[in-house]
Amino acid sequence: MSLLTAIAIGLGGAVGALARALVGRLLSGPFPIATLLVNVLGCFLLAAFTATLPADSTFTHALLGSGFCGAFTTFSTFILETVLLFRSGQPRRAVAYLFLTLFLCSLASWLGISLVT
Amino acid sequence: MQPPRLSLRDCLAIGLGGMLGSLLRSWIGTGFEGSFPIATLLVNILGTAALGILHASRHRLDPGGRYLYMVGFCGSFTTVSLFSLETLSLLREGHLAPALVHLGLPVLVSLLLVIWIITKVDPRPGKDAS
C-alpha cells in the first residue's frame, strides 16, 4: 500500500464515519433505520463505483471505495443492534431488521452494478 | 425531538477512529490473496466481537471514547458494502456454496459472539437498550 493510497483510505474513512454518525443523529428511533439506510446506500455506491471507475484509478478507488463506502457502512453496529432489539423483548423486529438489511443490501449492490453497466 | 448535536471533539474522535479503522481493514485486505474473500469475513467477525465487548463495558468509557472506539473505529473497521459486493460477485461467478458461506458465516458467528459476550457481562435481558 503506497502512502498516497493510505492517505486516500484514511481521508475517505474519516468522512465516511462522520457521515454515518450524522445520519445516526438525524434518524434516531426505536428501529435502527439509520444503520439500515447507510448500509443500503453504501452498498449501492460501492457497486456503482466499482462498475464505473477505471481499474487503474487506484487513488479514487481507495478514497471512495475502501475509504468512504467501507467506513460509511458498518457490519458491527448492524449485528449489535440486532442483538439489542432481541434482548429488549422485540424478537420479531430483530429478525425483520436482520433479513431486511441482508436482502436490501444485496439488492442495492446488484442495482449498483446493473444500473451503470 | 431535537437530536443531540455532535461537538467538534466528538467529530474529531469519529473521524480519527474512522481513519484508523479503514486503514487497518484495508491493510488486512492486502494480506490475503485467493478467490474467497476471507479478509472481509475476518474483519467483520473481529470488529463485531470488539464492539460487543466495548458495548458490554460502555459504562467505563466517556462519550469521547465511545465515539472514537465504537462509532469511529469498530464502525469503520467492519463493512457491509464490500461484504455484500463480494457475496454478489461470488454468486455471479457461479460459486453458490462459497457465496452462501460468505453471507451466512459472519452473520451467524458475529451474532453468537455478541450474544455470548453480552450475556457473560450483563445477564439481565432488557437492561441494555441504550
Nearest to B106 by CA among B81, B80, B88, B85: B80
What are the tens digits of pLDDT across the range A24-46?
999 988 789 999 999 999 999 99
Residue of B nearest to A22 (CA): B6
Least confident of A38-47, B53-62, B75-84, B103-112: B53-62
Query: Which residue from B6, B82, B103 is facing A70, i.e. has the nearest CB?
Result: B82
Residues whose CB falls within 8 Å of the CB of residue B34, separated by 6 or more in sequence, listed in order: none
If one counts every other C-beta atom within 10 angstroms of the C-beta of residue A55, the result is 7
What is d(CA B85, CA B69) in angstroms, rounded to the nearest whole number?
A: 26
Query: Residue B3: how many CA atoms within 13 Å on its side-chain side?
Result: 12
- What percent of chain A stands above pLDDT 90? 90
Q: What is the DSSP letter of B7?
A: P
pLDDT of residue B121: 84
Mutate to test the interface with A, among B12, B20, B22, B45 (most CBs of A within 10 A): B22
Does A76 contact B75 at a Cβ distance shorter than 8 Å? yes
What mean pLDDT do residues B85-92 have?
95
Residues from chain B that touch A12, judged by Cβ atoms under 8 A, are 22
pLDDT of residue B1: 42
Does B76 contact A16 at a Cβ distance shorter than 8 Å? yes
Please report the DSSP string for B29-76 in residue order. HHT--SSS-HHHHHHHHHHHHHHHHHHHTGGGS-HHHIIIIIIIIIHH
> Does pLDDT of A102 surpass 50?
yes
CA-angle at A54, arms to A51 and A59, nearest 5°: 110
Is the pTM higher than 0.80?
yes
What mean pLDDT do residues B81-106 have?
96
pLDDT of residue B129: 47
Does B76 contact A13 at a Cβ distance shorter than 8 Å? yes
pLDDT of residue A31: 87
